[in-house]
Structure 1
Amino acid sequence: MRRALPMNQSMRVAVHDRYGPPDVLHISTAPRPAPGSGQVLVRVRASTVNGGEVIGRQGRLKLITGRRFPRQIGIDFSGEIVALGADVSKFEIGDAVWGAVDERGDAGAAAEYVAVDVTQLSLAPAHLTPIEASTLLAGGNTALVALRDTVSLAPGERVLIRGAAGGVGSVAVQVAKMLGAHVTGLASLATADFVRSLGADEVVDYNTPPDELGDFDVVFDTRGTRLRDFRRHLARGGRMITIAFDIDRPVRSLGYIAFSVIHASRRVRLFLGHPNGVLFATLAQAADAGHLKPVVDSVFPLERIAEAHARLERGGVRGKVVIDVGEPR
């Protein structure tokens, strides 16, 4: 189905002109992108706030991210295709899709439109709204590759999800159950019922000393701290994977991860995801089959993206903080 684009050639986009607290974020205008060969133009309906974006906006990674401003923000998106570039035959205008922008590029998903390669998106889950779907993207991709592919979590194995109520952990609990594991969620007591509702077999207070947790076949860590303490509680042949490192002690944290290689199967693996359309299609199938359900913590309009970032920074999040992009202007 062909749909005409609005006549306005500009779009709203969330940017920051310097590093700092959430209020450095504001809404600006930028030219609406045009899809190149092998790309589609997506009208974004929803995006989410991810921990890596918060750290980047704070300037704690500026040795890597540099000082070029203004900088757009946002990684994942859900929406619909409104224009096709050359050599695109897999998708049609009007398709509901979800995906991720290339983090190495300049585009951000917290915008009215994004032009993305067809390899970076798939059809969205048929029964979810864009806001609901967006909550499964980043966490689902990370958890699926980390648990299924990297550490080969097997049915019946015991897995500990550290940070089980957060944006990634809340989806990791569901992915682990989908893979047939016995899941223990490490979270605050205030979020225990929420984590159980996701399918966790047990929920343990995150203040519990690690030596009281017992042994696990797999530890899935979302924090990047106290890695040594948690690695000690791997069962024989156990595997540990972390999706973060201690940003306040990066040399020490990364050094320990590298040192752990000598422990063979008990090494700590650092996972940095590279999402793609094949993974998103798998996640969509899992969601449509009822294995994954949305994890919406809160929803903010694009104009209040600073408040959305502040919400994530305050902690205590249950699932994902979502940006509702709204209608084009």
Structure 2
Amino acid sequence: MRAVLFDRYGPPDVLYVGTLPKPVPGPGEVLVRVHAGSVNGGDLHGRAGEVRLVTDVKPRGWPKPLGLDFAGEVAGLGPGVTGPKEGDRVWGVLGRTFGSLAEYIAVRPGVIALMPSGLDHVQAAALPVGAVAITALRDKARLRPGERLLVRGGSGGVGHLAVQLGRAYGAHVTALAGARTLDFVRDLGAHEAYDYATTDPSELGRFDVILDTVGADQPAYHRLLAPGGRMVAIAFDLRRPVSSLAFIAASARHGRSRVRFFSGKPSHRLLTDLARHVEKGELRPAVDRVFPLDEAAAAHRALEAGGVRGKIVIRVA
């Protein structure tokens, strides 16, 4: 089968489409024929070798695969699987491992769920990371109606979904994004949108909840929390990883305005909750550009260039 691979860490040009054996679903596994997947920040860091201590929990040799999320259909069932059926349209997220940018993947049923009705596979592939936003806002921050929410990276893959979810949860939503994407973020439902490059954090006021998808300059934004405020970080500063993680750890142990850091691992339950938001009209996919599998390197370059509105999707099938 065809898959996006790389033989060394480096820039987008290290990516190529090669072949891997088609997986055979083992006991308790589901074989999914992948129709589309998206490009996430984690893919960029994984390709560059910046998160190898996290992603190489089970070190594997070269070549390495890429891709975290996917939309497709069930193509086979391993022994003992109950629930999914062949032909089901499903979406999912692999979690801490890469490999979804391939024609087939074998996964546990717990990381997939039925796609929401009314979406094609390309649209659906833009949404699974929204489950991370649900965890961040609903479960970690416990965002309540009427609270003030700040989303850093409001036009990005997680951020643009967090803006929509914040509105669905009844919050007053402020978003930081690039100058070229401010109208896009407002159209998603942000009450206020500011250019992160020209806006000093001190100009923004106080917030009950801050969702940080960027990671840089966290202390400056932490100071914007109102008493009892909660800051949820799904990224840390890769330029200064030690000091960034030390700040997060210290804040989590001391003081009322804590920083909660987590690495998203969406589950069947969260993906099902995500589908409900879509079907209720509270979330809509935003696909910036679609690339064929053979142009995975170009897709990575496009995300690295910035100014992306929503998600960049790679069509696999």
Amino acid across the alignment from 2:241 = P
Q: Alpha carbon RMSD of aligned pairs, Å?
A: 1.3
1:80-229 aligned at under 5 Å gives the runs 80-104=73-97, 108-138=99-129, 140-206=130-196, 207-229=198-220
Name the stretch that deviates more: 199-208 or 59-68: 59-68
Question: 4+ residue runs of structure 1 moved beyond 6 angstroms?
Answer: none
Q: Hey, what does 1:320 align to over in structure 2?
A: 311
Unaligned runs of 5+ in 1: 1-10
TM-score by length of 1: 0.92
The one of 289, 294, 310 aligned to 1:303: 294
Whole-angstrom distance in 1 between the partners of 2:271 and 2:170 = 20
Q: Hey, what does 1:58 align to over in structure 2?
A: 48
Deviation at 1:102, TM superposition (A): 4.5
TM-score by length of 2: 0.96
Kept in 1: contact 2:96–2:265 (CA 8 A): no
Whole-angstrom distance in 1 between the partners of 2:95 and 2:186 = 34
Gap change, CA 1:117 and 1:62, over 3 Å in 2: closer
Q: Hey, what does 2:17 align to over in structure 1?
A: 27
Deviation at 1:238, TM superposition (A): 0.7
The one of 34, 39, 48 aligned to 2:38: 48
Deviation at 1:262, TM superposition (A): 4.7
Whole-angstrom distance in 2 between the partners of 1:197 and 1:35 = 43
Whole-angstrom distance in 1 between the partners of 2:189 and 2:134 = 16
Q: For 1:95-153, what per-residue CA distance to the aligned partner results, in whole angstroms no more than 9, with x for missing partners?
A: 1000122534xx60000011111111000011111110111111x11110011000100
The one of 46, 63, 69 aligned to 1:70: 63
- State the SS of the aligned residue for 2:255: helix
Deviation at 1:264, TM superposition (A): 2.7
- State the SS of the aligned residue for 1:32: coil
Amino acid across the alignment from 2:13 = D
Kept in 1: contact 2:93–2:265 (CA 8 A): no
Deviation at 1:263, TM superposition (A): 4.0
Whole-angstrom distance in 1 between the partners of 2:53 and 2:133 = 28
- State the SS of the aligned residue for 1:203: strand
Q: For 1:214-272, what per-residue CA distance to the aligned partner results, in whole angstroms no more than 9, with x for missing partners?
A: 00000111111111100111111111111111111111111111121354320111121
Q: Hey, what does 2:274 align to over in structure 1?
A: 283
Deviation at 1:43, TM superposition (A): 0.8
Unaligned runs of 5+ in 2: none
Identity of aligned residues (%): 51
How many aligned positions are there? 313
